[in-house]
Structure formats: structure tokens, C-alpha cells
């Protein structure tokens, strides 16, 4: 699993992400459950995690909270269509084996008008940094649990049928970092109403 950056300031970003949740929802790839402490009161969460050890750690963190941790993957969510108010994903869409299938499934389980809250790194707009990300992508996934550095996750989300209602680019940990995962965004995307 890629470093979460919590010790160098990522906690605030997690807090931001969870502050955008409401009602009942899903977290994909919850890891060891480090987002749980930021869940607002009254929000109920099903947290999906494929890794056995991480899911066990997440269950520990879920004690006393309205959180159910299940083993599974984002591309196959065991829930009815149009069932939940939100899906949250922090540093997971970079890692899922099929980005398109995962977004399709996220879109399916959301109610119309439901929200997808995402914090991720993305391929950079700068051609030179994007070239570095492409080079790094040959090695980076082997060092960081399958995390890909050259995905255009923002475009994939839009193509999957979501409209951005809140969106910001930021560099993490800083613009001077050479990390190929430094080009980050945080966004809230609404499941677009069906046309016609
Ligand atoms: C970089 S970690 C991020 C963990 C957590 N979201 C966080 O913010 O700390 C990526 C997570 O995605 C999980 N993952 C990998 N493939 C996945 C998939 N296909 N569906 C859902 N989660 C997946 C990994 O097991 C891991 O927990």
C-alpha cells in the first residue's frame, strides 16, 4: 500500500473528504480504516477492503462506530442498484485493477444525485511531469501495492457519468516534491441525472 502521508499532513484531507458525506454510503479500499475517525455523526458506512489483514485492522478501528467492514473489490459491490447516498475513495482509485469497472459499479450503487467523494493523485497537466510519471509507473506499482502514477482519474470519473460539484488540484506533500504521486485532486462528483 502506498504511504498515506498522514504523518505529514494528510489527516486534514481525510477530514475534508469525510465532511462531504451524509446519509448511508460506501468506502472503497478502506485500508486499515484511518478515515473512520472523521465520519460525521449520523453517517452509516459500509467499508470494502480486499486485503484480509487490512480488513481486520479496519474492523478494530470500526468498533463502536456505525461502520461495517466487508472483504471485496470496488468492481463488484454486493449492493442493490441506486442504494446509497455517497461513495468515498481516498487513494484507492489509483490502485484498483480496473478503473472503468470500479467507476461503473460506484455509479450503479449510488442513488440519482448521490455523491462520489474522491481524493487521488492524477496524471499531471505538465507534459514534463507527466513524462516522469509514465517512467515511474513502470516501477512504482511494484513498490506501492499496485498504485499507478499515470492514470487520468479525473477524466475517467467524468466519462463514467459524474458532474463535479466541488473540485481542487493540490500538490502533496509539495510542488517541489519529486514524488510521481504529488499531483493530487480532491473532488465531490454528483451522479448525473439520466438524459431525456
Ligand atoms: C493506498 S491504499 C489506501 C487505503 C485507504 N483508502 C487510505 O486512504 O488510507 C489502497 C487501498 O486500496 C485497496 N484496493 C486494492 N485493490 C482494490 C480493489 N480492486 N477494490 C477496492 N480496494 C482495493 C488496497 O487493499 C488498499 O487498502
Structural domains of the chain ordered from first start: 10-191 (3.40.50.150)
pLDDT given at position 6: 81
Q: What percent of the chain has pLDDT over 90?
A: 92
Long-range contacts for 164-169 (Cβ within 8 Å, ≥24 apart)?
164/188, 164/189, 165/115, 165/189, 165/190, 166/20
CA of 22 to the centre of ligand 1 (A): 22
pLDDT tier at 173, thresholds 50, 70, 90: very high
Using CA atoms, how far apart are residues 45 and 22, in angstroms rounded to an integer? 10
The chain-wide mean pLDDT, for the chain, equals 95
**Residue 51 CB less than 6 A away from ligand 1:** yes
**Residue 90 CB less than 6 A away from ligand 1:** yes
pLDDT tens for each residue of 70-90: 999 999 999 999 999 999 999
Q: In ligand 1, which atom is closest to the CA atom of 29?
A: 22
- Enumerate the β-bridge partners of residue 117: 88, 188
CA of 134 to the centre of ligand 1 (A): 21
> What grid cell was written down for 154?
479525473
Amino acid at each position: 500500500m502506498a504511504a498515506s502521508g498522514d504523518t505529514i499532513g494528510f489527516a486534514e484531507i481525510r477530514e475534508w473528504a469525510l465532511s462531504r458525506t451524509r446519509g448511508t454510503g460506501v468506502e472503497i479500499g478502506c485500508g486499515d480504516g484511518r478515515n473512520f475517525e472523521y465520519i460525521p455523526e449520523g453517517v452509516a458506512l459500509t467499508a470494502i477492503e480486499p486485503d484480509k489483514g487490512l480488513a481486520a485492522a479496519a474492523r478494530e478501528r470500526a468498533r463502536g462506530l456505525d461502520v461495517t467492514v466487508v472483504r471485496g473489490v470496488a468492481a463488484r459491490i454486493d449492493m442493490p442498484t441506486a442504494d446509497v447516498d455517497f461513495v468515498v475513495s481516498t487513494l484507492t482509485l489509483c490502485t484498483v485493477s480496473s478503473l472503468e469497472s470500479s467507476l461503473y459499479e460506484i455509479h450503479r450503487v449510488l442513488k440519482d444525485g448521490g455523491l462520489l467523494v474522491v481524493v487521488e493523485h492524477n496524471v499531471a497537466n505538465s507534459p514534463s511531469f507527466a513524462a516522469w510519471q509514465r517512467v515511474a509507473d513502470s516501477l512504482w506499482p511494484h513498490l506501492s501495492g499496485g498504485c499507478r502514477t499515470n492514470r487520468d482519474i479525473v477524466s475517467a470519473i467524468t466519462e463514467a457519468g459524474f458532474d463535479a460539484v466541488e473540485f481542487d488540484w493540490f500538490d502533496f506533500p509539495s510542488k517541489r516534491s519529486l514524488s510521481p504521486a504529488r499531483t493530487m485532486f480532491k473532488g465531490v462528483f454528483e451522479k448525473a441525472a439520466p438524459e431525456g
